[in-house]
A and B are shown apart, each in its own frame.
Chain A
Amino acid sequence: MADQILFFIEVVVGGLLAGTMYSLVALGFVLIYKASATFNFSQGAMVFFAVLAFVGFMQDFNVPFVLAFFLAVFLMIIVGLCTERLVLRPLMNQSEDTLLMATIGLGYVLEGLAQAMWGVEVRRLDLGIKDFPIPWIADNLKLFISAIDLTAGIVAFGMIIGLTLLFKYTKMGLGLRAVADDAGAASSIGIPLKHIMLLVWSAAGVVALVAGMMWGARAGVQFALVDLALKALPVLIIGGFSSIPGAIIGGLLIGAVEKVLEVYIGPFFGGAIEGWAPYVLAIFFLLYRPEGLFGEKIIRRV
């Protein structure tokens, strides 16, 4: 019995830690949604693009780790700059659906560019952290928790705290929130819209890079990252599109629930139900609480 409880805890903890990776991707979505009311469908592609560039710099050009990281950050800022200038600005004041479709196109561009530049083969990314259970925890608590999962969890947690503080307590954060609420009104009182957009897209790019590094270290840097990143969408629905804590809790919830379902119910159906379980969970949330756990209720008028 005790073994079963331990196993259950292990499954849940593993799920929660894997869920932090979804949270990291979802965080990028939330950042952009908060500042520009744009559903950035290309966030998954940005994850892939960023980490592939990072690994590419390291492996093809023998750039040291830290430099490669900053080069990748720089690249993501350029991507943010180009997106703001070439996609968002011409589409200003268009409907949400139009913007969403444009970001689907943007995602295709990023995926294509990344593969054209760095090739399509799976690349290994070694962060120096092993995907093995941490011995200390395994010995003392009898729980097997992967070191990389734990690192990802800590990194995600740190980023969340940083971003929440940024949004809540800095002048820049206030500007971001003002722009998100009403871009026209915000720019009329002198908030530099362009700078805010650039900042937010760059921040989303950096978040994408970190998320990609965590994913990549675990499963290899490959195209499948884009599909994995799609799971951030149900996370957002559960957490609410405009809430940073929501992204985190949604991610944790999805991670834990899909693992528990997979381990305990999956075998009855031949497994692999984690492929769709998050989406079905999201549908139930949509029926019960369409604005998500922490989202703002949107009232539509004629």
Chain B
Amino acid sequence: MKPIFMTYTRGDLINLAILLIVGVVVIPMTVSSGYWYTSILIPWLCLALATIGQQIIMGYTGQLALGAAGFMAAGAFACFNLILRVPGIPFVAALLISGLIAAAFGILFGLPSLRVRGIYLMVATLASQFFIIWMIDKFGWFKNYDSSGIITAQDIVIMGKPFTSPVEMYLVIVAVVTPMTLIAMNMARGSTGRNWMSVRDMDIAAESMGVSLLKTKLQAFAISSFYCGVAGALFAFTYLKSLEPVAFDIKLSFKVLFMVILGGLGTINGAFIGAAFILLFPVLLNYIGNNVFHGAIDATIISAIEQVVFGVLMIIFMIYEPLGMAKLWETIKIKIAGLFSKK
């Protein structure tokens, strides 16, 4: 797979400025319905952040890891406990520390990657998925000895101001996701990212060129799970508004994996495209089910169809466009630009 190297031109900066203006000013001013925030924008950005994490380990470093949801759970419960047990801790600090805790788990479960690859590594990372969820579930301390199993997440309070309405929470997420995305993009195109990609493309060759496999792989695991941890904390505090280990089961890990693959391996914008697709497609399918067939199709059938479509798309992308929708989007852009330049 050829990496897509990105360079920042003036056009990119203008695009970024436009995106930021749309994200921070236009959307909060025009979209007033809570549905858009709570069901689409908030989960989209949270999952896109987790997908960037998965993208770093899988798309850039080429390590087939399947435990994103485990690290998300680690981040979410770390954040819950920090706010609960450390009085007066700022939310952002709690968020960052929970990311670091998730990163520690990432390093621990990334250790097998030094010996194994491919499906072997996938099994090793599955251990992290099952172990972290089990640990949170079985040790009452993590859940503050709550017997109901579902804990309500605390309100987000920043500088004494509570951020509880959908718009406010959305803005918090944008404020976290934007810098983290930019940092990820910079890492990916800098020496860090080139080390990752050299390990992905041929680890033995990379090692003989002087790239330390130990450092590069563990660094990628740490950064990846840091992103997943922060994403998990945001996901629990803004979208789920509760903390339950079941929400972070292996299905979520697969979902994030699908977002990476459909979005495009080794692209940061692919993470956003993939997350949007995986999130919006079921919404669309439900809409068709309700409005075209007027509920004649059972909801379970619809979710089964959704699964089939995701699976088929995954195979099709693997066959025809392993770089996913991000590459498709680039191709379309170039085609359109070509149409205009001919005139």
Q: Is A97 on the interface with B (CB-CB < 8 A)?
A: yes
Q: Is A105's CB within 8 Å of the partner chain B? A: yes
Chain A's interface size range is: 35 or more
Tell me how far the C-beta of B274 lies from the nearest C-beta in chain A, rounded to whole angstroms: 13
Which of B123, B202, B204, B261 makes the CB contact (< 8 A) with A233?
B123
Contact of B123 among A104, A108, A234 (CB under 8 A): A234
Contact of A287 among B112, B119, B137 (CB under 8 A): B112
Q: Report the contact-size class of chain B (Cβ under 8 Å from the partner).
A: 35 or more
- Annotate B306-322 by CB proximity to A: 1 below 8 A, 0 otherwise: 11111111110011001
Q: Which of chain B's residues 112-169 have a Cβ closer than 8 Å to chain A?
A: 112, 115-116, 118-120, 122-124, 126-127, 130-131, 134, 137-139
B305 part of interface (Cβ distance < 8 Å): yes
Question: Which residues on A sit within 8 Å (CB–CB) of B250?
Answer: 227, 230
Tell me whether B115 and A287 are in contact (CB under 8 A): yes
A-chain residues with CB within 8 Å of residue B306 when the two chains form the complex: 112
Binary interface encoding of chain A residues 109-137 relative to chain B, with 1 for a CB under 8 A from any of its CBs, else 0: 11111011001100000000000000000
CA A97 – CA B62 in complex, angstroms?
A: 9
Known A-B contacts A111-B307, A280-B127, A287-B112; the reply to A105 vs B119 at CB < 8 A is no
With beta carbons under 8 angstroms apart, the residue of B134, B307, B313 that contacts A272 is B134
Judge whether B123 and A282 touch: CB under 8 Å: yes
Q: Is A270 an interface residue (CB 8 A)?
A: yes
A109 engages B315 (CB within 8 Å): yes
User: Closest approach, in angstroms, between the C-beta of B198 and any C-beta of chain A?
Assistant: 12
CA distance A233 to B124 in the complex (A): 10
Residues of B contacting A270 in the complex (Cβ-Cβ under 8 angstroms):
138-139
B residues near A169, Cβ cutoff 8 Å: none
Any chain A CB within 8 A of the CB of B9?
no
Chain A residue contacts of B127, Cβ below 8 A: 276, 279-280, 282-283
Is there contact, CB below 8 Å, between B116 and A104?
no
Would you call A237 an interface residue if the criterion is a C-beta within 8 Å of the partner chain's C-beta atoms? Answer: yes
Q: Does B64 contact A (CB under 8 A)?
A: yes
A1 to B40, CA, bound (A): 62
Q: Which of B122, B134, B311 contacts A105 (CB 8 A)?
A: B311
Whether A109 and B308, one on each chain, are in contact in the complex, defined by CB atoms closer than 8 angstroms, is: yes
A230: chain B residues within 8 A (beta carbon)? 126, 250
Task: Let me know if B130 and A275 touch, CB within 8 A.
Answer: yes
Q: Which residues of A contact B134 (CB under 8 A)?
A: 272-273, 275-276
A selection of 28 A-B contacts at a CB cut-off of 8 Å is: A91-B318, A100-B64, A102-B314, A104-B254, A105-B310, A109-B308, A111-B304, A111-B307, A112-B305, A112-B307, A112-B308, A112-B309, A112-B310, A113-B304, A115-B303, A227-B250, A233-B122, A233-B126, A237-B120, A241-B119, A276-B130, A276-B134, A279-B131, A280-B127, A283-B124, A283-B127, A286-B112, A302-B205
Interface residues of A (CB under 8 A from B): 39, 41, 86-87, 90-91, 94, 96-98, 100-102, 104-113, 115-116, 119-120, 227, 230, 233-234, 236-237, 241, 269-273, 275-276, 279-280, 282-283, 286-287, 290, 300-302
Starting from the known contacts A102-B318, A279-B130, 17 additional A-B residue pairs (CB-CB under 8 Å) come to: A39-B119, A91-B319, A97-B118, A105-B315, A109-B315, A113-B304, A115-B301, A116-B308, A236-B123, A269-B138, A273-B134, A276-B130, A279-B131, A283-B112, A290-B115, A290-B116, A302-B204
